[in-house]
Every structure is written in structure tokens, then in C-alpha cells.
């Protein structure tokens, strides 16, 4: 059978001119090796192009001896031409090359009759559909499974017996009266059971080792409610709540008064903070403390935060109040320290800014920002310090 041959990037020039009836050509010394080596009825298409005018001809090369090609002229709709030394000889992709390949139409059907050099080779299958894992699928049995050649109708396999192993695509079981169930890492057997179909929005949920799963309503994701406590109280978890987020902020410290002849008062420290994210017991009350200025806030024993310290003294000797600190909870945060007597700015908390010092002369420091900010110091000569802001407890569930 004749076979079209190819090589990559083969191109050269004629070593000598040819007429339009010549049946061979010679290329530049040594460049023939760039082109396919032909045996028997093999061939390749070659494009000749005039260097001067660009006119071209496609020829069929049926033999190659080193740098000499035996050719059939005027291929693939081109006309035989004369060529001179130095004209181009190139192995290009042509329409004739592509049309020699078998083609499928839009329905994946061969567009024309195809001839195969030999019949397909069929190797018997083993251990897949018939008998046990060591049984061979014989030609007679194969005819029951699928028709490979010809028009024989496909039939169902019959008398399938034995155990098909897991390694061969089976279950390893001999009947449908037993099945494998994972129960605490062990395998148990029992009758097949129907776990139902469930309804829209339900998910298949495990009920523990050795128990069949069941369809249950999908739990909502994320927190959907929030409650803010600005005074002491009690939070009772709803019956369906098993996880919450709590943010606790202690009260801010107060700023100190200015001292005549000394200077501006110091700022109070910001309240500390604690954040808890985790489980809680449903339908259970949790005691809530909300610290006033400088005092501790808490949510049961799950999260707590101390208040900021008050500013003391004035002028260069005035000391800003220390920031409070969180304890327990998932995350603990410190409040900002208050400014010294020469600055008088209150320290911030996680949820509130610090107060400013008073305006000269004798202006009072402003109160700490909402939820735990420290108060600002009073300005000289006799301004009073600002109050620290009360803390807060925020519950999300």
C-alpha cells in the first residue's frame, strides 16, 4: 500500500535546471537528506517555486537517491513548468496530503469507503463479564456480549455465575441479600434497606457508626441574629442554637483633671476586648456583665475583658491610664493606653475611640468614644477629665 511520507522543515534549491517534461531533479549537495527516505511504494509531495517570478508546481516524489529525486509532474491541480538552478524545492503541506487521510462527516461516519490492510485483531477478555475472575471470555461467549464484526445483533449475556472480585469491577458478593456497611471501622452484613428519597433542601446525614444515614434538613450557614447588651442581663440560647460569636469590651478609663500651674490632665486607657466563637449549650442562660467606666465586661465564663485604667496627674508628670485586656475567649485584645499629661488623649478600645483633651483654657476633656474608649484629660489651668465610655457585649447567633 502506498504511504505518504513527511519530515519537518525540509527545504533546499535546485542544483541544476529542469524542463517542463523532466522526470527527475537534483538538489543542492547534501540537502537531499532533509527529505523523507522512501521504500517500496512510499512517496511525498514536493513544491517547486521559481525564485524570480514565484510561479510554482507540485510534484510527486516516488524515489530519492541521495540528492536526486524521481518525480511525477503537475500534481494537485498545478501545471508543469521549467525551473533553473537556485529555484526553491520545499516539502510543504498540500491539499493532496490532507485529502489522503480518512475523513469523518458531521455524524462521525466515514465520508467514503475505507480499505484496511488487515482484519482487526480481537483478544479475548478475562474476568470481566463472564464466570469468575480466572475465567476467559471465549469467542463463543463474546458473541453473546457484543458483535464486533459484521451485522450480528447484540444479545444479552446469559448464565453469568460465580463471584466477580472487586479488583475486576465486581462487588465480591454472591447475592443481594448481604451488603457491606461501615460500622466503627468494621464491616457488617444485613438485608438491603431503603433509606428513602428525602425532600427538597434536605441532605443525607450520618447518624453514627452502625446506623443507616437519613435525610435531614440542611443547617443554615453563618449567624443570622445579633443582640447588643449595653447593661447587665442574661442571654438564653435558643433551642436550635449550638454555636455563637460573642464580642466583649470593658469600660474605658476616665481622664484626669488639669492642675493649675502644672498642666493638662492625662488620658484614660481604652477597655480591653475578648472575642469568642464556638459551641454553646442550647436553651441555656448565660450571665452578662457590662462594665461601666474602668470596669470589666463578661459573657459567662466564655469571654471577659477588663476596663481601662484612669489617667492620673497632669503636665509632664501626668501618667496615662493603662489599656484593659481580654481574657478567655478565642481572641484577646488590649485597649490603647491613655496619653500623658502633656497630650491628654484617651486610649481607644476595639469598638470605641479615645476622647480628646479639653480646649484651653480650662476646657473639660471629652468622654471616651462609644463602647470602651478612654476619656480625655482636662486642659489647664483647671479643666476636668472626660469620663470613660461604658463597655458592651455583642452576641451573634
Instruction: Tell me whether residue 112 is in a domain.
Output: no
Tell me the C-alpha distance between 216 and 126, whole Å.
Answer: 44
Instruction: Tell me whether residue 198 is in a domain.
Output: no
Boundary of a domain, candidates 99, 130, 163: 99
Q: Quick one: 237 and 382 in the same domain?
A: yes
pTM assigned to the model: 0.49
Tally of structural domains, the chain: 2
Q: In which element (H, E) is residue 235 found?
A: strand 233-236
CB 324 within 8 A of CB 307: yes
Cα dihedral 133, 135, 138, 143 sign? negative
Boundary of a domain, candidates 74, 99, 124: 99
**Three-class secondary structure of residue 311 per DSSP:** coil
Instruction: Tell me whether residue 327 is in a domain.
Output: yes
Range of the domain at 350: 224-397
Q: Quick one: 95 and 229 in the same domain?
A: no
Quickly list DSSP for 93-162.
--HHHHHTS--B-TTS-BSS----SSPPP-PPPBSSSSSSTT-B--HHHHHHH---SSSPPP-------S
Q: Which three cell numbers stand for residue 263?
A: 498642666
Which residue has cell 475486576?
168
Residue 333 β-bridge partners: 273
Which residue has cell 442550647?
282
Boundary of a domain, candidates 53, 71, 99: 99
Which residue has cell 478600645?
349
**Tens-of-pLDDT digits for all 397 residues of the chain?**
568 899 999 999 999 999 999 999 999 999 999 999 999 999 999 999 999 988 999 999 999 999 999 999 999 999 999 999 999 999 999 998 888 877 777 777 766 666 666 666 666 555 444 444 444 545 555 555 444 444 445 455 566 566 777 777 776 666 655 444 444 444 555 556 677 788 887 888 888 887 889 888 776 668 899 999 999 999 999 998 999 999 999 999 999 999 998 999 999 999 999 999 999 999 999 999 999 999 999 999 999 999 999 999 999 999 999 999 999 999 999 999 999 998 999 999 999 999 999 999 999 999 999 999 999 999 999 999 999 999 999 999 9
Amino acid at each position: 500500500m502506498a504511504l505518504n511520507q513527511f519530515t519537518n522543515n525540509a527545504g533546499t534549491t535546485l542544483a541544476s535546471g529542469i524542463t517542463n517534461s523532466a522526470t527527475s531533479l537534483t538538489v543542492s549537495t547534501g540537502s537531499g537528506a532533509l527529505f523523507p527516505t522512501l521504500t517500496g511504494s512510499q512517496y511525498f509531495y514536493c513544491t517547486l517555486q521559481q525564485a524570480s517570478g514565484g510561479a510554482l508546481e507540485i510534484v510527486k516524489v516516488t524515489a530519492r537517491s541521495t540528492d536526486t529525486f524521481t518525480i511525477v509532474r503537475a500534481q494537485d491541480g498545478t501545471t508543469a513548468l521549467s525551473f533553473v538552478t537556485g529555484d526553491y524545492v520545499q516539502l510543504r503541506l498540500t491539499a493532496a496530503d490532507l485529502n489522503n487521510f480518512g475523513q469523518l462527516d458531521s455524524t462521525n461516519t466515514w465520508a467514503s469507503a475505507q480499505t484496511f490492510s488487515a482484519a482487526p485483531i480481537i483478544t479475548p477478555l478475562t474476568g470481566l463479564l463472564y464466570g469468575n475472575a480466572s475465567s476467559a471470555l471465549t469467542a463463543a461467549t463474546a458473541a453473546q456480549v457484543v458483535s464486533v464484526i459484521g451485522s450480528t445483533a447484540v444479545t444479552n449475556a446469559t448464565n453469568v455465575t460465580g463471584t466477580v472480585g472487586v479488583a475486576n469491577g465486581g462487588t465480591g458478593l454472591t447475592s443481594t441479600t448481604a451488603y457491606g456497611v461501615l460500622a466503627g471501622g468494621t464491616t457488617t452484613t444485613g438485608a438491603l434497606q431503603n433509606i428513602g428519597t428525602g425532600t427538597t433542601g434536605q441532605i443525607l446525614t450520618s447518624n453514627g457508626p452502625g446506623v443507616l444515614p437519613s435525610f435531614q434538613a440542611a443547617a443554615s450557614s453563618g449567624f443570622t441574629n445579633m443582640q447588643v447588651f449595653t447593661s447587665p442581663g442574661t442571654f438564653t440560647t435558643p433551642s436550635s442554637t449550638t454555636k455563637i460569636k460573642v464580642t466583649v469590651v470593658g469600660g474605658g478609663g476616665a481622664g484626669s483633671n488639669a492642675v493649675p500651674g502644672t498642666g493638662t490632665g492625662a488620658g484614660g486607657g481604652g477597655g480591653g476586648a475578648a472575642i469568642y466563637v464556638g459551641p454553646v449549650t442550647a436553651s441555656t442562660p448565660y450571665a452578662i456583665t457590662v462594665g461601666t467606666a474602668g470596669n470589666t465586661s463578661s459573657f459567662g465564663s466564655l469571654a471577659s475583658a477588663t476596663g481601662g485604667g484612669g489617667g492620673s496627674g497632669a503636665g509632664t508628670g501626668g501618667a496615662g491610664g493603662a489599656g484593659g485586656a481580654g481574657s478567655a475567649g478565642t481572641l484577646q485584645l488590649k485597649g490603647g493606653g491613655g496619653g500623658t499629661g502633656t497630650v491628654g488623649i484617651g486610649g481607644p478600645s476595639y469598638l470605641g475611640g479615645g476622647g480628646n483633651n479639653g480646649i484651653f483654657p480650662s476646657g473639660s476633656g471629652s468622654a471616651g468614644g462609644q463602647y470602651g474608649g478612654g476619656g480625655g484629660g482636662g486642659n489647664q489651668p483647671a479643666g476636668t477629665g472626660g469620663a470613660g465610655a461604658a463597655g458592651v457585649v455583642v452576641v451573634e447567633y
